[in-house]
Amino acid sequence: MASVSAHELAKKQKEISVAEFFERNKHILGFGNQTRALITSVKEGVDNGLDACEEANILPDIYVEIKNHEDGECRIIIEDNGPGVVKKQIPHIFGRLLYGSRFHAIRQSRGQQGIGISAVVLYGQLTTGKHAKIISKVETDRPAVVNEIAIDTNKNRAEVISRDTIHWDKPTGTRVEISIMADFKRGKRFVYDYLQSTSIVNPHAQIIYKEPDGTEHIFERTSEVLPRKAVEIKPHPYGVELGTLIKMAKHTKARQLNSFLKTEFSSMGDRTTNMAIEKAGLEKNLNPKEMTREQFLALHKAFKKVKIMAPSTDCLSPIGETLIKRSLKHETQEISPEFIITASRPPSVYSGNPFQVEVGLVYGGNLPKEESVKILRFANRVPLLYQQGGCVITQAISSIDWRRYGLTQPSGKGIPTGPAIFITHVSSTLIPFTSESKEAIADVPEIENEIKLAFRECARKVQQHINKKVRRAKTREKFDLITRILPEIAKKSAHMLGKPVPPLDPIITKIMDVVWIEDLIEYESVKREPVQTTLTENQPEQKEGVITKSQIMIVNYKHTPQKFNLYAVIPQDAVVGTVSPKPSKITNNYIKWNLDTIPPANKIDIVFELAGLSKGDFDENDLYIENINPTYVIGADKWEGD
Amino acid sequence: MASVSAHELAKKQKEISVAEFFERNKHILGFGNQTRALITSVKEGVDNGLDACEEANILPDIYVEIKNHEDGECRIIIEDNGPGVVKKQIPHIFGRLLYGSRFHAIRQSRGQQGIGISAVVLYGQLTTGKHAKIISKVETDRPAVVNEIAIDTNKNRAEVISRDTIHWDKPTGTRVEISIMADFKRGKRFVYDYLQSTSIVNPHAQIIYKEPDGTEHIFERTSEVLPRKAVEIKPHPYGVELGTLIKMAKHTKARQLNSFLKTEFSSMGDRTTNMAIEKAGLEKNLNPKEMTREQFLALHKAFKKVKIMAPSTDCLSPIGETLIKRSLKHETQEISPEFIITASRPPSVYSGNPFQVEVGLVYGGNLPKEESVKILRFANRVPLLYQQGGCVITQAISSIDWRRYGLTQPSGKGIPTGPAIFITHVSSTLIPFTSESKEAIADVPEIENEIKLAFRECARKVQQHINKKVRRAKTREKFDLITRILPEIAKKSAHMLGKPVPPLDPIITKIMDVVWIEDLIEYESVKREPVQTTLTENQPEQKEGVITKSQIMIVNYKHTPQKFNLYAVIPQDAVVGTVSPKPSKITNNYIKWNLDTIPPANKIDIVFELAGLSKGDFDENDLYIENINPTYVIGADKWEGD
């Protein structure tokens, strides 16, 4: 064979349009087979709807319908009550890949790349040859517009096949109808699971889902409060790449280095800016557009040498421990697990992108003992259904030795076996997914580490919980024995000796020799006015509220008087009501009492009420003590500080 | 909070350039952290070099050098002796994502998307702010050109920073120098592993690798033959999506439906074309450009109703069982495994894309018994190093119950534990990777199934091997006993009785009652002329050749004469030399003898020679028998047909 010259090869070289690229690589976008295609299509539509509503401060009402034709063709209909899409943007948003509003913003959102929904349109066109139908209404007193859209994949541009206006009852909103080849029979269960999981982590959304046979599932809204809106932030100097720094300097409106740094980056005040410029050996009034690569390099290195405040985490919108616990309770009510424990890490940063990890662990009950633990993964409130094996969450869980927590795990590595569910939620301004199908998170060391720390904290709490239970059970045995037998003996002895029954308290305290803390939680229903947070049309009806009432009894069974401080940890989103006796401090996280001296054999009763929680959100007190030897106390641990 | 209108949101919506997209999502391309970035950069460069050489029919000489600077900056240098890149294509190929020659061709190649090498340039620019340097020489008697390239990410276009010509000794070739931020310390081992694995599945390539401290590794060329060149094919009707069919009809030069089908698709002869058109209820002379969606739909459905030949598999270039076995032997020489078994599936098709699966299994020796089996994954001759958990290969292996093959596997699922290495190579015109970083294959059911079938075949062979060994060992024991003890007894008895020693053969055959087949393999070195397959500059020196000599002895220890046929399976790439006695048939796969009748206690000797193999490639005969009850025979199994 003769060799082929570069000139011959050159003839074949040409540009590939991004639409062609994804058309050929549809598995990368989650359309690898017809089951996946179904779920991906629903997912992209619902994610878009939720994002749009939240961006416009509207409580989301999402409607999903699937119509199934005989020959494997499904029509997917997804409707939201969001702000709608203005007419001239419709072709771009639905008929063009890599077009959107969220890519250039540093802020937590579900969609980011401007690929999702247009990929569904592309897949539909590829497999059924049909056009997508988009209905959008942007103003209450105007008609809606209807567009039929196709994608010219060679150009990655939309073709508008038809355009019309119609009357639509909704005040505003978007409705998407796309025909795709999909396997409803196999995908049915996954679509339901996906919508259920989505509803769990988005309690502010109502989702109605109609199956091809007419069955309607309603996933109710369980919270009338929109999640805290994630704020857009500027890049943080710690995470900015040298190349990005150079590019930003090219495009800035600032004329001087110091104003460039202060206006284009987050956490850069006067002091930090000056320090960075000084460490870099540069001048404040340099024109950023005229800086050399070496100057940028010096500046980039100087960033790392200066202590710069972490980026603001307003851009994140975590779910919160209470909600995670509630979700897990909801998810596991038929299992009646032994305990549910959650942990939440403080926000952290990878490559300048803020992120936060929240985890939960359900143990025992009717969960299967011989199977691998169930792993539930969420990213920015979106459930991740596929690629579990390739996800950093799985990797982090697999790297922890779970054997000492009662789970089976050969050689202390891998997914443990046992009656447990592990839930993980990662929120970030940029979730580093392994591919555009957004099914698994890449193995970024910072994220892996935070997940590990969160689960270790969880595991510690499990351990504490078990220890506490064991110690308490032992002491109670002793206690029961004493309080049952001692009076008998005293009575009999007194009778035999013809003497009065002696006071038993000093003896009991002598034998017990502990401070005993017990608690009880009760829920009281109250009618409450819903908090009016949004401009939704439908006035929400009055709903049942719950007051969580916690009663704590402290008995001093030691033979000397005791005086110490008590802390009761409370959920961040609880509102503290009546507290008795008067606490010395109430924070977001705890109530603190400087207790009066308790004489031997005496007791103190404490009561506090919490509002803003659902029944069962707070079902066990987490108590800590201070200024007393913790080994004296049963029912509370040593306070380690805020 | 007031709701935000669609008009306000519209202001933020804009286009995202593909370069910006990948810059922000660099983890998708395999640049998630600095270790990965190092390996990905080397990989993209080497893959490109190998593809270029093979396309031009040149035996590849690849040179890789890494220079490590103090502050974590590495300079990656990759040089090939391929055809070079013509001047005006350099900016496009190296400075633009989604630009290349292999995307639109249906043919097996390493690179496909036109992303790889430009992504390295992009990553280098992003992390070091430095430009890439590209040297290319396309004609032997002309100077080379040197380009310094940057990427304008907003436009996804190259900026040529400088352009020059220099003298370069190479006849033709390309040299790429890119500075990137990378972690050489951690990545060192992986780069070596990657190059070693690459060398194993590309024995026709020589790779020289120079580490930062000057250490040079040479991975020798072990085969002077280029792999069969993968031919470009046309799309197959079974795999074409409706949307693609419509698009093809829009762009075809054919004016009639029947010529459109015959010229633009593979496997469409006159008969098949007419049948498809008829089943669709269409007319032959329809103008494809004027067909309606319904007509296309009918045609698309008709394809599935007509039997169409599988696509030609010239477009594939599998490694071959012999080479896989040789690679595994090479990889495991220090382990001295108990056995190495390979299996190769016939080519198959998913979504119209031909693919083929080859697997191998190494068992025993010094392999660790308590660890998970080692899984080696290859796709189109490229080793896959990451994302093992998310790969269909792992999924297929995990779904097989390996417990009956002596491996530990709780509940018969998951990666088994035991002393084994599993190797899998998938070749295809379009490997469905889960992401652009090309680290894992998506879970396409057809591919998963073929991998399972291949490993099941492997497992069956393992089982056969074990059974054969056990049966043979038992019979040999019996045999040894008889041949040692029987003559003693006969001698003593004869002596005692004063009679001559009786003939023992009839007695031995009576006791043994089997046909015994034994074989021996020897290698003979010969000087051989290398096959001149390419126009490389360096005349390859004479190399040692090997003749594999197989000797088979068949003894009839049954008490009746036996007449049967014998098959010896031979490797596909072996050349058959002397064979004695004269065989009745020689195919690519086996030699067949219609043996003469063997009287009781008589034997037949068979000898055959194979050329074209390396020492050890063929180290055990795989023998089958026909026209005899297989339970009579030790050392060969029943012939099940070709």
A108 and A198: one domain?
yes
CB contact under 8 A, B128 and A242: yes
CATH number for the domain spanning A550: value is 2.60.40
Q: How far, in Å, CA of B93 to CA of B388, rounded?
A: 30
Do A290 and A360 belong together in one domain? no
Which carries the bigger pLDDT value, residue A102 or residue B50?
A: B50
**Considering chain B, what percentage of its residues have pLDDT values greater than 70?**
94
Identify whether B422 is part of a domain: yes
How would you class B578 by CB atoms within 10 Å of its CB: exposed for 0-12, middle for 13-18, buried for 19 or more? Answer: exposed
Does B497 map to a domain?
no
Question: What 3-state DSSP class applies to A203?
Answer: coil
Q: What is the mean pLDDT of chain B?
A: 86
Q: Residue A145: pLDDT above 80?
A: yes
Whether residues A530 and A615 fall in one domain: yes
Q: Which residues of A touch B152 (CB under 8 A)?
A: none
Which whole number is the average pLDDT over A410-417?
Answer: 81
- Partner residue opposite A15 with nearest CB, options B6, B86, B98: B98
pLDDT the model gives residue A452: 95
pLDDT range class, residue B598, cuts 50, 70, 90: very high
Determine the Cα–Cα distance for residues A416 and A410; give it in Å rounded to an integer.
8
CA distances from A176 to A437, B186, B354 (A): 20, 48, 35
CATH label of the domain that carries residue B257:
1.10.8.50
Q: Average pLDDT for residues A617-634, to the nearest whole number?
A: 87
Which runs of E-coded beta strand occur in B111-156? Answer: 132-137, 144-152
Range of the structural domain that residue A525 is part of: 504-535+543-638
The CATH number of the domain where B343 resides is what?
Answer: 3.30.230.10
More confident residue, B191 or B334: B191
Q: What CA–CA distance (Å, rounded) separates B128 from B116? A: 18
CATH at B38: 3.30.565.10
pLDDT, tens digit (0-9, with 9 covering 90-100), for A4-55: 777 777 777 677 777 777 777 788 888 888 898 999 999 999 999 998 999 8
Segment B274-316, tens digit of pLDDT = 999 999 999 999 999 999 989 999 999 999 899 988 877 778 8
Res. B536 pLDDT band, cuts 50 70 90: very low
User: Residue B604 is which amino acid?
Assistant: I
What is the pLDDT at residue A636? Answer: 86
The band of A283, judged by pLDDT with boundaries at 50, 70 and 90, is very high
Q: What is the per-residue pLDDT for B216?
A: 95
Q: Is residue A470 part of a domain?
A: no
Length of chain A: 642
Same domain, B164 and B254: no
Contact B55 A395 (CB under 8 A): no
* pLDDT computed for residue B233 by the predictor: 82
B32 close contact with A: CB closer than 8 A: yes
Chain B nearest-CA residue for A4: B56
Whether A401 and chain B come into contact, CB under 8 Å, resolves to no
What are the CA-CA distances from residue B139 to residues A588, B56, B173, B226 (Å)?
74, 13, 9, 22
The answer to whether B292 contacts chain A (CB < 8 Å) is: no
DSSP B434: S
> Distance between CA A203 and CA A225 in Å, rounded?
9
Q: Are A524 and A547 spatial neighbours (Cβ–Cβ below 8 Å)?
A: yes
Q: Assign A536 a pLDDT band (cuts: 50, 70, 90).
A: very low
Task: Tell which wins on pLDDT, B346 or B75.
Answer: B75
From the list A19, A383, A389, the residue with the least C-alpha distance to B440 is A389
The H-or-E segment that residue B247 falls in is helix B242-251
- pLDDT beyond 90 at A182: yes
pLDDT at residue A538 in the model: 40
Answer whether residue B53 shows pLDDT above 90: yes
At residue A102, the pLDDT reads 65
- Tell me: do A291 and A334 sit in the same domain: no
What is the pLDDT at residue A541? 41
Q: Average the pLDDT over B607-635 and give the result.
A: 86
To the nearest whole number, what is the mean pLDDT of chain A?
86
Residue B380: name the closest of B444, B431, B320 by CA. Answer: B431
Q: What percent of chain B has pLDDT over 90?
A: 39
A228 lies in a domain?
Answer: no
Which candidate in A23, A29, A33, A232 is best for mutational testing of the B interface (most B CBs within 10 A)? A33
Both B444 and B511 in one domain: the answer is no
Amino acid identity, position A19: A
Is B233 a member of any domain?
Answer: no
Last residue of a domain, one of A409, A440, A462: A462
Place of tokens 């108990």: B338
Integer angstrom CA distances of residue A596 from A516, A561, A579, A602: 16, 10, 15, 11
Q: What residues in A contact B9, CB-CB < 8 Å?
A: 52, 55-56, 83, 101
Query: Is the pLDDT score of B66 beyond 90?
Result: yes
- CA dist., res. B277 & res. A105, Å (int): 52
pLDDT of residue B371: 83
| Residue B17 in contact with partner chain A when CB distance is under 8 A | yes
CA distance B304 to A181: 15
Q: Is residue B125's pLDDT more than 80?
A: yes
Q: What share of chain B is helix, strand, coil (3-state, %, to 5)?
A: 35, 25, 40
Mutate to test the interface with A, among B40, B109, B247 (most CBs of A within 10 A): B247
Which one is predicted more confidently, B3 or A186? A186
At A113, is the pLDDT very low, low, confident or very high (cuts 50, 70, 90)?
low
Separation between Cα atoms, residue A117 and residue A379, nearest integer Å = 18
Q: How far apart (Å, rounded) are the C-alpha atoms in residues A466 and A475?
A: 14
Q: Is the pLDDT assigned to residue A115 strictly greater than 80? A: no
Using CA atoms, how far apart are residues A205 and A197, in angstroms rounded to an integer?
Answer: 12
Question: Residue B134 falls within a domain, yes or no?
Answer: yes
Dmax (CA) for chain A in angstroms is: 122
Give the pLDDT confidence score for residue B573 in this predicted structure. 78
Give the mean pLDDT of B35-58.
92
Q: Which residue of B has its CA nearest to A122?
A: B243
Whether B5 and chain A come into contact, CB under 8 Å, resolves to yes
- B133, B249: one domain: no
* Dihedral sign (CA B420, B426, B431, B437): positive
Q: Given this model, what pLDDT does residue B223 score?
A: 78
Q: Is the same domain home to A562 and A529?
A: yes
Residue B189: inside a domain: yes
B355 touches chain A (CB under 8 A): no
In whole angstroms, give the CA distance from residue A222 to residue A226.
11
Lowest-pLDDT choice from A51-55, A197-201, A349-353: A349-353
* Chain B contact for A27 (CB, 8 A cutoff): yes
Domain boundary among B403, B429, B462: B462
Predicted confidence at residue A531, as pLDDT, reads 47
- pLDDT score of A368: 85
Q: Does residue A261 belong to any structural domain of this protein?
A: yes
User: For B358-370, what is each residue's pLDDT tens digit?
Assistant: 999 988 888 888 8
Given this model, what pLDDT does residue B113 score?
66
Q: What is the C-alpha to C-alpha distance for residues A76 and A278, in angstroms, rounded to an integer? A: 59
> Mean pLDDT over residues A202-221, rounded?
92
B619 and B564, same structural domain?
yes
Q: Name which of B371, B370, B351, B374 is nearest B362 in CA terms.
A: B374
pLDDT the model gives residue B496? 83
Q: How far apart are CA B548 and CA B272, in angstroms?
A: 46
- pLDDT attached to residue A497: 83
To 10 degrees, the CA torsion angle through A456, A460, A462, A467?
A: 160
ipTM: 0.72
Task: Determine the pLDDT at residue B539.
Answer: 40
Q: How many domains does chain A have?
A: 4
Chain segment B421-477, per-residue pLDDT in tens: 999 999 998 898 888 788 899 888 899 999 999 999 888 888 777 777 777 777 778
- Rounded to whole angstroms, the Cα distance separating B552 from B623 reads 10
Which among A219, A253, A277 is the end of a domain?
A219
Task: Say whether pLDDT at B541 is over 50.
Answer: no
The structure tokens listed for B378 are 């290859």
A479, containing H or E segment: helix A445-497
Interface test with A, best of B11, B12, B13, B148 (most A CBs within 10 A): B13
Residue B120 has pLDDT above 50, yes or no: yes
The label of the residue with tokens 């002869």 reads B269
Tell whether A471 is within 8 A of chain B (Cβ). Answer: no
Predicted TM-score (pTM) of this structure? 0.75
| Residues B299 and B325 reside in one and the same domain | no
A280 with A304: CB under 8 angstroms?
Answer: no
Specify burial of residue B477 (Cβ count, 10 A radius: 0-12, 13-18, 19+): exposed
CA dihedral A610, A611, A615, A617 (to 10 degrees): -60
In degrees, to the nearest 5, what angle opens at C-alpha B567 toward C-alphas B564 and B568? 140
Distance CA B615, CA B526 (A): 11
User: Do A575 and A510 belong to one domain?
Assistant: yes
Chain B residues within 8 A of A9 when measuring between CB atoms: 52, 55-56, 83, 101
For residue B581, say if its preceding peptide bond is cis, omega within 30 degrees of 0.
yes
Given a cut of 50, whether residue B531 has pLDDT beyond it is no
CB A181 within 8 A of CB A37: yes
Q: Does B71 touch chain A (CB under 8 A)?
A: yes
Q: In this predicted structure, what is the pLDDT of residue A170?
A: 92
**What is the per-residue pLDDT for A112?**
65
- 3-class SS of residue A467: helix
The answer, yes or no, to whether residue B239 has pLDDT greater than 90, is no
Lowest mean pLDDT among A203-207, B123-127, B266-270, B530-534: B530-534
DSSP category for residue A347:
P
Residue of A nearest to B100 (CA): A13
Same domain assignment for residues A199 and A250: no
B531 lies within 8 A of chain A by CB: no
Q: Where are the beta strands (DSSP E) in B385-533?
A: 420-428, 515-528
Best of A7, A8, A11, A13 to disrupt the B interface by mutation (most B CBs within 10 Å)? A13
